[in-house]
Structure 1
Amino acid sequence: MSTSPALANSRPRTAALSICRLIGSDPKQNGWMGISPSIRPIFPPHAPKVPDIMTQLAVDSRVVARLTGTLPEGGFEEGTPIWACDAPGLLDPADAPETRLDAVPLGEKLAFLMEDVITRAEAARFIDLTESLGYRDAAPGIQTPPGMRRNKTVHWIAPEAAMAELHRRMKSLLPATLEGRALSPRLSQRINMYRYDIGDEFNLHTDGDWPGFGLSTDGTGMAQWRGTHSMLTMLLYLNGSEDGIIGGETVLYDKGEAGATITPHTGRALFFRHGQNRASVLHAGARLGAGTSKYVARINVMYDLQSVAAGQFEAPRCL
């Protein structure tokens, strides 16, 4: 069932075992107003430990949308921001590691790993940048039942150049087609970042499928793309057990049983099918123990809506 723009002016409803999307059409709610950018130095403003590699960047950051945010234990926050950042050098093509593909046995379900997608220095820049924006309880534009998501989050539109470089590193290792639909030439620029502190977890769920997002032409608003829709979740781990993380594994399920347990490592990316369909992978983020906070980015891998074989547009499986 697709989400209607009319939902922009209504309170989002709980959807069990799903992370759903809420795309608004009201300009004020979605942040389509011009907001003066601010130059923000990158320094993590909170106590949890982060990797030893730290950076200092001057980042042009601004709010480009405001949506209703869902709180971890129930309830909503109006006007939860989605940010945009102009951060040159976030990913450096000259420092690109040699990315490699690893299988994740999960019965008939599609899941796989890529190792060394980004470097430790690049991961540290992601952490520093998002800490400067500020993690919060409310997750903008998604719906989760009370008690499902227990972590902090910040959502932002990543620079086009950085996402293009990320796509370039992975393109040859991603499925060229899925269910007759061709891999899109770009990743969605909207990144959902999550920080897990001691005791945080993400209980059993499937991920929703999403349209792609970037910036409006003038850079002051969030723009939804046409002709493409996500089919794969990419979980990019920005730190790992080597940094002192205890627990926090991603557990994938097959036929109701735990089928694979993925340990966070810096630069590792986990991919699996999502959406409201039988191929979608049920998964959970295990509780984090004492030690370092865990940082992970959810990125949506996009596929064209037009079927390669039939030349017809397929209706996206939206929640």
Structure 2
Amino acid sequence: MFMNPVIVIFGANGFIGRYLTRHFARNGKEVVAIARSREGWSGDGMFLEWDGKTLGPWALALEGAEAVINLSGRSVNCRYGEVNRDLIKQSRVDATRVIGEAIAVCKIPPKTWINSSTATWYRHAEDKPQDDWTGDGGKGFSCEVAQAWEDAFFGANVSPETRKVALRIGMVLANEPETVYDVLWKLTARGLGGRMGSGNQHISWIHMEDFLRAVDFVIGDPFLDGIVNVTAPEQPLNRDWMRYFRETVGMPLGLPATRWMLELGAWLMRTETELVLKSRWVQSTRLKDAGFRWRWGKAGAAIADLKGRPGLEGFFRSGAGRSAGARVWLPATTR
């Protein structure tokens, strides 16, 4: 059916899914994009629909795939009422469970199954960084979701021929409407780009270009499995993070926001303050030790770079997303 290696992407119509789908299509892969609806799909590859919880004809696409990448899950950018809490958790657990069931019955199992997770798995950390090996799990709703998500993934009974990697991803930056970059840009442009809360919380982030390269790297390195953090080397404080936005926007004024102001703003925007107040100080030790090299390790440079790359088309028109140099890994004997 396909002439080239196949990459199957679940949640392909979401923010990250659109970029991954375009990236692999541009680099000669056959892409199967799977989502609950076509809305938001980039138009790259073959589209298949699913409901995110039951087996269906889509499962045939997993046969012999080079990689299966699962990004499915209800957005966390909402108020955490009872209904949304259930949707956030169950959409992730159900999708992961049924993908595992599909892989388990494959005659030719996929080589690699990458499941999205989140840097929010770790505790609020202002004292020391949390890495892939020694980081401490956190408490609260978001951490519980992350733990349940990973439990479903690592509990899936699939063939040992399929390598399993859970990516604990930091905030992915791209100049895309309604994403973190866009929201912070607009706040900064209005003079509201000061520190949030104490300003001492760390920000775990990664430039979209490095995220795409990191996924390439993980697929290409047969020694990486289990937990892999995907964040940039520099984890700035919120006060510095917002200063980088002010410098890029060209807005010298940045009014600080106290907790009560953030609570009010979050209520008006139908989101939660945890998304900006939790200190995520998460390091990608395993990627670094495996030989991955970031192109955008400094937050200020990354924020400035994305100014000139608006939207999906603008990002790839700039030449980003090419896989050359992404698979910079060495055999175990030379590491």
Is TM (by shorter chain) over 0.5? no
When the two structures are superposed, what TM-score results if normalisation uses the length of structure 1? 0.29
If asked which structure has higher relative contact order (CA below 8 Å, sep 6+), I would say 1
Structure of greater Rg? 2
Report the structure, 1 or 2, having the larger helix content.
2
Report the structure, 1 or 2, having the larger strand content.
1
When the two structures are superposed, what TM-score results if normalisation uses the length of structure 2? 0.28
